[in-house]
Amino acid sequence: MGVVHTVLGPVQVEDLAAVMHHEHLLSLVPGPWLSGGRPNARVTASDLQPDVNEARYADDQVRHAVSALSGLAALGINTIVDLSPYGVVGRDPDGANVRLLQRISRESGVHIVAGTSVYLEAYSPRWAIQADERQMTDRFVCDATQGIGTSGVPAGLFGEQATSLNRITTHEEKCLRAAARAQRETGLALTTHTTHGTMALEQLEILRQEGAHLDRVVIGHMDTRADLDYVRQVAQTGVHIAFDTVGKQNWDFVLEPEPHDRPDGETSKQAYHQSDITRANRLAALMNEGFEDQILLAQDLTGAEVWMNPTTHGQWGYSYLGASFNTLLLEHGITQTQIGKMLHTNPARLLQTEAA
């Protein structure tokens, strides 16, 4: 009988309803600003040194996540995959606060599956930069078998393992190879992060070289790629692809942390727009071409980006995919059966492992 490894332990795959395959539950607030802040924190020229007691922030993260998930049951969604890498989108550099996902799951009644990964090189913890390929592989295997970092909570898959915009750095290649080897050893699924849909085919070549099980690989963020032909080319290899930024119609190019010493005055930035109508049109085309068994859906919602998407994530939150976007897909000729494959059948199949 197949099981899915959630943060509260194995559950039968039959217990999964619809699944949002790429979220970041600890990223909804950047700090305890809604519960009194950090009155004893000290700000230096280059960093924030917080209070010794961070319980207030942890409580905020849990409370807001539980509240944000409260609308999902009515939409038939009961599982969230948290793909937060070490040190970004709410996860500690050592993974310790993955334990908070257990609290969120208990209090919300939502199954949560935790991924493990390292993000872009510019955001990677020092220990990951310094590790060699063997050490990274051992770390990922341990995360899956013993617990992520110091949390004691085992990962249920690998990801989102990241590569940069139009390039793969030596460090990112090292970590992707390590994730592939860990996937081969444990049998868990592997989800990648492409930056604006670039380097997907290069990711696949690295995964092939390492003997990864490509039928258990998801190439992420393919809905952010500018041209559908490239997305189609990736899907034709047989791997799964993710349209996993649904509702994120506007976002900034943030490819590395902002420097602490940037000058005062007017600044410029790069931003991007991708409408959900475009996403629906592309999904309809891919359905017509027979790719319905390879596509997964999610929102990749983060608190830092909700303000840029006030009519989607800002109004609907996690319910946007199952309510508003679902309706948009039906209006574009996608059937409820096809939606069910993208939200349930496909992710459940990837998350399933054999019971011990």
The answer to whether position 225 is within a domain reads: yes
For 86-111, what is each residue's pLDDT tens digit? 999 999 999 999 999 999 999 999 99
Helix/strand/coil for 104: helix
Alpha-carbon distances of 88 from 46, 94, 116, 195, rounded to whole Å: 18, 11, 12, 15
Give the contacts of 310 (CB within 8 A, at least 6 positions apart): none
Tally helices (H) and strands (E) across the chain: 14, 15
Mean pLDDT of 54-76: 93
pTM: 0.95
Residue 213 lies in a domain: yes
Say yes or no to pLDDT of 119 above 90.
yes
What whole-number distance in Å separates Cα of residue 316 and Cα of residue 262?
35
Tens digit of pLDDT for each residue in 16-30?
999 999 999 999 998
* 20, 298 Cβ separation under 8 angstroms: yes
> For position 254, what pLDDT does the model report?
84
The pLDDT score that the predictor gives to residue 51 is 52
Q: Is 273 a member of any domain?
A: yes
Residue 4 lies in a domain: no
Q: Band of the pLDDT at 53, cuts 50, 70, 90?
A: very low
pLDDT at residue 1 greater than cutoff 80: no
Residue 160 preceded by cis peptide, ω within 30: yes
Q: Are 153 and 101 in contact (CB under 8 A)?
A: yes
pLDDT digits (tens, 9 = 90+) for 2-16: 999 999 999 999 999
Average pLDDT over residues 37-57: 62
pLDDT over 90, % of the chain: 86
In a domain, 48, yes or no: no
- Evaluate whether residue 211 is within a structural domain: yes
For position 302, what pLDDT does the model report?
96
Number of structural domains the chain divides into:
1
88 within a domain of the structure (yes/no): yes
The answer to whether residue 285 scores a pLDDT higher than 90 is: yes
Q: Is the pLDDT assigned to residue 268 strictly greater than 90?
A: no
Report yes or no on 104 lying in a domain: yes
pLDDT in tens, 201-242: 999 999 999 999 999 999 999 999 999 999 999 999 999 999
Using DSSP bridges, classify how beta strands 271-273 and 190-193 pair: parallel, antiparallel or unpaired.
Answer: unpaired
Confidence of residue 356 (pLDDT cuts 50, 70, 90): low
Q: How far apart are CA 291 and CA 270, in angstroms?
A: 32
Q: Over 90: is that where the pLDDT of 314 sits?
A: yes
- Return the H-helix or E-strand segment holding 3: strand 2-6
Query: Amino acid identity, residue 275?
Result: S
Q: Which domain holds residue 88?
A: 11-37+53-253+269-354
Taking only the tens place, the pLDDT of each residue in 154-210 is 999 999 999 999 999 999 999 999 999 999 999 999 999 999 999 999 999 999 999
Q: Residue 57 sits in a domain of what CATH number?
A: 3.20.20.140
- Give the distance from CA 56 to its chain's centroid: 25
